[in-house]
Structure 1
Amino acid sequence: MKLGLLYWVLLVLETEDYRGAIADYTQTIQLVPDDADVYFRRGKAYLFRENHQRAIADYTKAIELNPQYTDAYYLRACIRLETEDYQGAIADYSQTIQIDPDYVEAYRDRGQDIKKTAWWQMRVF
């Protein structure tokens, strides 16, 4: 049952019916509340709908269920960067790198984040 529903939700997500995907992932979470992948995928659907708070909450839950979930750390960092939570973004990029030293995008984006943080601090002070 779980795999069938997940495949259905992935199909819904591919058709860009993010609202439908969110509803289906929410239903899946009720059936399987300890599956980090479901929270991660629902977080992506929230991200596509630009609902950053809910996306962060789902990525955080995915990380809570699977502390080695590099993609959840990485996407949460990307949202934090976009919402100007630079310290949170740097922490998440760093955690991504600590878990997977070959995660090239995390190095690149962390460097950009540090650069933005330095620029922002120079403007404020």
Structure 2
Amino acid sequence: MSLNLPPIGITVSLLLASNVFMTFAWYAHLRDLTHKPWIVAALISWGIALFEYLLQVPANRTGYTVMNLGQLKVLQEVITLSVFVPFAYFYMKEPLRLDFLWAGLCLLGAVYFIFRPHLHSILQS
């Protein structure tokens, strides 16, 4: 069975997966590799980041067929926060803070303004 997702669905799916790798590459070493030299953490993070790029590049290429660069960037930031908050809470054991909510609300405003001129055509694709 083949999923026939529209470009926006493919983009969001790939960016979600990409951001999981990105978040682990950027932050997991703070919990798991503190006893290792920084160069070891950097090389492991670099290896994880390869998988991020293998998903992120096709995501952006697909997304750019239906969105402009600004829209892709704002979408990326929304997805980043959507992945980061559960990562921080569940994996890093950080407390949930109202700052995450306020940041999310600010991003909703960014989404509205960056997608407003093209909202109807994006929802149709």
Instruction: Give the TM-score, by structure 2 length.
Output: 0.31
Instruction: Give the TM-score, by structure 1 length.
Output: 0.31
Larger relative contact order (Cα-Cα within 8 Å, sequence gap ≥ 6): 2
